[in-house]
Amino acid sequence: EPEVTQTPSHQVTQMGQEVILRCVPISNHLYFYWYRQILGQKVEFLVSFYNNEISEKSEIFDDQFSVERPDGSNFTLKIRSTKLEDSAMYFCASKEGIAGTDTQYFGPGTRLTVL
Amino acid sequence: AQSVTQLDSQVPVFEEAPVELRCNYSSSVSVYLFWYVQYPNQGLQLLLKYLSGSTLVKGINGFEAEFNKSQTSFHLRKPSVHISDTAEYFCAVTKINNDMRFGAGTRLTVKP
């Protein structure tokens, strides 16, 4: 069964450094998402992406964040200058079509630790 | 905007006992409802979803949920839990062409 993959599984970085989290969505999917989950808290929406542009973003997704689909397979989340509070599990998700009935399939997550 | 409330942050139960994890949602429009499970150190796995039609939805691992529009609820149930069901369970809601909003999660702990 096709699945969403994410790399790395764990990223440790120093505060102020840039990080890029990578995701490979399911191949025929057109909509892509990033979510984050701070330890012990709920999963929060960050951004959705379709047709090479951001469709929607939350208030969390400020200028420090950016997303990109640099080629036909990868979908990346970049945090330009990490802060301690960016430490969280980051989940990528993809879905096939526009309908709300389409299931979002989640990757296993990348645990980001900012020191 | 839609939102989800999971009423119980933790639910401890004994093995083979029934369990209900509660979820209430709020939205001014029709929504689609989901339950995801997160096992320790893993991602989110879809348990079941309600899109339309029958209000009783059956999912994987013996779980089912009932959509109740009048009570704006989508509670998850299992008649007999196993140790392996120990995990975090998230209720989520989405509208067409919209992102998914998650509840805070319910930690189900099944004890022998």
Helix H, strand E, coil C: the string for B43-80 is CEEEEEEECCCCCEEECHHHCEEEEECCCCEEEEEECC
What does the buried/exposed string (b/e) look like for B78-107 if buried means 16 or more CB atoms within 10 Å of the residue's CB? beebeeebbbbbbbbbbbeebbbbbbbbbb
Residue A78, beta-bridge partner list: A20, A66
Who among B51, B94, B102 is closest to A43 (CB)?
B102
Q: How far apart are CA B2 and CA B95, in angstroms?
A: 8
Residue B77, beta-bridge partner list: B20, B64
DSSP strand pairing (A31-37 vs A43-50): antiparallel
**Which residues from chain A sit within 8 angstroms of residue B42, using beta carbons?**
108-109
CB contact under 8 A, B96 and A104: no
Q: Which of residues 61-100 of B touch A (CB under 8 A)?
A: 90, 92, 94-100
**Does A76 or A40 have the greater pLDDT score?**
A76
- Sign, CA dihedral A22-A15-B102-B42, equals positive
Instruction: Retrieve residue A27's tokens.
Output: 């191949």
Least confident window among A12-21, A99-108, B11-20, B33-42: A99-108
Per-residue pLDDT, B17: 97
Who among B46, B90, B94 is closest to A43 (CB)?
B90
Burial class (CB in 10 A: 0-12, 13-18, 19+), B56: exposed
CB contact under 8 A, A108 and B104: no
Per-residue pLDDT, B96: 64
Rounded to 5°, angle at Cα B90 from A2 and B84: 75
**Which residues from chain B sit within 8 angstroms of residue A56, using beta carbons?**
98-99
In A, minimum Cα distance to B102 occurs at A43
CB contact under 8 A, A33 and B99: yes
Backbone angles phi, psi at A4, to 5 degrees: -85, 135
Instruction: Retrieve residue A50's tokens.
Output: 């379709």
- Closest chain B C-alpha to A14 CA, distance in angstroms: 23
- Chain B CB within 8 Å of residue A3 CB: no
Q: Please say if the pLDDT value at position B11 is more than 70.
A: yes
Per-residue pLDDT, A3: 87
CB contact under 8 A, B102 and A56: no
Residue with tokens 């080629």: A71
CB contact under 8 A, B90 and A98: no
Q: For A37-70, write each residue's pLDDT tens digit.
A: 998 888 899 999 998 999 889 999 999 999 999 8
